[in-house]
Amino acid sequence: MNLISVSKDKERLIRRILVCVDGSKSSIEAADMAIRLSQKHGADLTALHAIPPTIRCDYIEIELLSFDQDSPDPILAMAKAEGQKCVDTVKERASKIGIKIHTEVILSELSAVKTIVEYAEEQKIDLLVLGRSGMSGIKKMLLGSTASGVVTYAHCPVLVVK
């Protein structure tokens, strides 16, 4: 039986695992862990890349939500392509060991934290896996702001990979 211990008295089956990736080394390590857990527990695996509503390029903030999602805008197209590259990397790694995986790239109207938490709830995820810190560039923080927010608000257990 594939169980994860939640507390002294409760255990939960792992049927659906969500791994959040942003292309950082930490998120790729989280993806590798999620793939191994999926294989061990026979769980469905989903790789998610959430594009935030605002992208910061050097000193310029670009509001992506002002763009039509179906328009050929180069910045939005680049963000989607980079997100797809992230989830495709996970899909390739999972496929090598025979794990079927679903991938999603979402342009979010919300923060990355809210997007991840809501997606996990909607998809009835049993375990959320993400890296300790992402592409923010803030190396001194012990736990990245997205990881910290997801741990705080997620409805299910969260595995943060160092």
How far is C-alpha 101 from the geometric centre of its chain's CA atoms?
Answer: 13
pLDDT tens-digit series, residues 68-90: 555 557 777 888 889 999 999 99
Please report which confidence band the pLDDT of residue 143 belongs to, taking 50, 70 and 90 as the band edges. Answer: low
Average pLDDT, the chain: 82
For the chain, what is the total number of helices (H) and then of strands (E)? 4, 9
CB proximity list for 142: less than 8 A, separation 6 or greater? none
Domains of the chain: 11-161 (3.40.50.620)
C-alpha torsion angle, residues 72, 74, 80, 84 (rounded to 10): 100
pLDDT tens-digit series, residues 111-123: 889 999 999 999 9
With H, G, I as helix, E, B as strand and everything else as coil, classify residue 55: strand
How far is C-alpha 122 from the geometric centre of its chain's CA atoms?
Answer: 14
pLDDT tens-digit series, residues 13-27: 899 999 999 988 999
- Mean predicted confidence (pLDDT) in 32-40: 97
Q: What are the two backbone dihedrals, phi and then psi, of residue 11, each rounded to the nearest 5 degrees?
A: -130, 155
Whole-Å CA distances, 61 to 51, 120, 136: 14, 28, 14
How far is C-alpha 72 from the geometric centre of its chain's CA atoms?
Answer: 25
